[in-house]
């Protein structure tokens, strides 16, 4: 991980912080050095669990720089956040509203809306979020429990490359805003979540392009007093990192040439099983390029990272740089098959 690139990206986001404060979704990369580097630039943190809270607290970050965008949280996490002074939580169910009323009484609550994730490579809309009518009813319900309905949140899906996804999400959120107003609830807070892309794909909208698009739409669709915030994860850290792997084997099979690395789906490249793409850079080879199926080290057939990759033919033992390597790599890695979890090295 390159500190300068991390800081540069953080500053790119922070340039919009006066209109839309930025909270880094720490799950993308929880390395202490990475968190510290981003914290130093003044960014806040979005967290979902007690261990994440402990990591952030070790940096001396206070409640005003912490949010949680996760709609389902453990009671212990809610209590810990509340006792620290966090007074704003996300939910999308009656059960969560009850939990919040019990462990964080009187808090402001934000409803997670289900929005179209088709512009993203790693959709996040299956598990969380509700439609507009259900959202309005849940806001009214929260009020009966003594909570203060404050706003709406959504996630357009991770690695979202379609600007139009933000338009669709904001239009839906504005419908909820209007329905809530008609039911006597004045919403103020609009959390646009994450989804800002990294260079997994060749063409991605830039951070300024996304913010300008969002600001334009917010100006058109929402009242003037709307308070914005964003929770980018991937875009802050992915491009600042390369995953350094080593070739452990090659094989010529009926369906073509296979290359086996010491890093795979289970120990760093988990997102490869979705629609997230990486590029592979041999560090020594001068051989002609060939087409490869690239796979990880485990004995599991699921452990295939990419197909149809054009790359110079490397030798066993040669280092291959995998880019972008800074987001959802080490954070997702397991010890399956006894593999080591790749270490984060900040330079
Ligand atoms: C609630 C919430 N906010 C923010 C993020 C960060 O998303 P991304 O890394 O796509 O920016 C996530 C990712 O899972 C999330 O669940």
Out of 28, 327, 329, mutate this one to test ligand 1's pocket (max ligand atoms within 8 Å of CB): namely: 28
pTM: 0.96
Ligand 1 closest atom vs CA 327: 9
φ/ψ (deg, to 5) at 268 = 150, -30
- pLDDT, residue 275, reads 87
Which CATH code is given to the segment(s) 3-238?
A: 3.20.20.10
- pLDDT, residue 202, reads 81
Q: Where are the beta strands (DSSP E) in the chain?
A: 23-25, 44-46, 66-67, 88-91, 108-112, 120-122, 148-153, 158-160, 189-191, 227-229, 243-253, 256-261, 279-282, 289-295, 304-312, 319-323
Cβ-contact 337, 266 below 8 angstroms:
yes
- Order of strands across the sheet with 304-312? 279-282, 319-323, 243-253, 256-261, 289-295, 304-312
Q: Which residues line ligand 1 (CB under 6 A)?
A: 25, 28, 46, 69-70, 124, 155, 158, 193-196, 231-235
CA distance 201 to 183: 43
- pLDDT, residue 201, reads 81
Q: Length of the chain in residues, anyone? A: 347
Q: What are the sequence ranges of the domains in the chain? A: 3-238, 243-333
Q: Residues near 147 by Cβ (< 8 Å), separated by ≥ 6?
A: 97, 100, 101, 105, 106, 107, 108, 109
CA distance 75 to 50: 10
Nearest to 177 by CA among 117, 119, 231, 217: 217
Task: Kindly report the protein residue whose alpha carbon is nearest to atom 1 of ligand 1.
Answer: 69
Tokens 């914290």 locate to 39
Out of 25, 112, 115, mutate this one to test ligand 1's pocket (max ligand atoms within 8 Å of CB): namely: 25
Q: How far is CA 71 from CA 42, 47, 49, 210, 231, in A?
A: 25, 11, 12, 24, 14
* pLDDT digits 0-9 by tens, 97-151: 999 999 999 999 999 999 999 999 999 988 999 999 999 999 999 999 999 999 9
Q: What is the DSSP string of 23-59?
A: EEEGGG---HHHHHHHHHTT-EEE--SHHHHHHHHHT
Ligand 1 closest atom vs CA 160: 10
Kindly provide the b/e burial profile for residues 40-76, where b requires at least 16 CB atoms within 10 angstroms of the residue's own CB: ebebbbbbbbbebbebbeeeebeeebbbbbbbebeee
Query: Which CATH number is correct for 243-333, 2.60.450.10, 3.40.109.10, 2.40.37.10, 3.40.50.300?
Result: 2.40.37.10
Q: Write out the two tokens for 4.
A: 């300068």
- pLDDT, residue 341, reads 93
- Per-residue tens of pLDDT for the chain, all 347 residues: 999 999 999 999 999 999 999 999 999 999 999 999 999 999 999 999 999 999 999 999 999 999 999 999 999 999 999 999 999 999 999 999 999 999 999 999 999 999 999 999 999 988 999 999 999 999 999 999 999 999 999 999 999 999 999 999 999 999 999 999 999 999 999 999 999 999 998 899 999 999 999 999 999 999 999 999 999 999 999 999 999 999 999 999 999 999 999 999 999 999 999 989 999 999 999 999 999 999 999 999 999 999 999 999 999 999 999 999 999 999 999 999 999 899 999 99
């Amino acid at each position: 991980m390159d500190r300068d690139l991390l800081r540069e990206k953080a500053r790119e986001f922070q340039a919009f912080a006066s209109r839309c404060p930025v909270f880094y979704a720490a799950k993308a990369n929880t390395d202490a050095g990475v968190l510290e580097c981003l914290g130093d630039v003044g960014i806040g943190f979005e967290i979902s669990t007690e261990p994440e809270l402990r990591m952030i607290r070790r940096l001396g970050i206070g409640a005003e720089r912490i949010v949680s965008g996760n709609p389902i949280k453990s009671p212990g996490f809610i209590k810990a956040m509340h006792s620290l002074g966090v007074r704003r939580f996300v939910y999308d169910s009656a059960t969560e509203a009850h939990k919040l009323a019990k462990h964080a009484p009187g808090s402001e609550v934000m409803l997670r809306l289900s929005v179209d994730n088709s512009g993203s490579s790693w959709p996040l809309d299956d598990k969380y979020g509700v439609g507009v009518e259900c959202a309005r009813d849940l806001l009214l319900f929260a009020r009966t429990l003594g909570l203060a309905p404050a706003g709406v949140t959504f996630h357009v899906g991770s690695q979202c490359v379609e600007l139009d996804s933000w338009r669709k999400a904001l239009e839906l959120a504005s419908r909820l805003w209007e329905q809530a107003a008609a039911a006597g609830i004045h919403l103020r807070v609009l959390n646009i979540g994450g989804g800002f892309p990294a260079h997994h794909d060749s063409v991605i909208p830039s951070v300024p392009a996304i913010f300008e698009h969002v600001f334009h739409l917010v100006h058109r669709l929402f009242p003037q007093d709307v308070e914005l915030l964003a929770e980018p994860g991937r875009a802050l850290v992915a491009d600042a990192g390369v995953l350094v792997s080593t070739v452990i084997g090659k094989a010529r099979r009926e369906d073509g040439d296979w290359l086996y690395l010491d890093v795979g789906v289970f120990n760093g490249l988990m997102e490869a099983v979705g629609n997230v793409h990486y590029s592979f850079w041999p560090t020594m080879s001068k051989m002609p390029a060939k087409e490869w199926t690239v796979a990880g080290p485990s004995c599991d057939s699921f452990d295939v990272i990419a197909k149809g990759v054009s790359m110079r033919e490397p030798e066993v033992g040669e280092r291959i740089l995998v880019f972008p390597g800074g987001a959802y790599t080490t954070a997702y890695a397991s010890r399956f098959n006894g593999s080591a979890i790749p270490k984060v090295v900040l330079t």
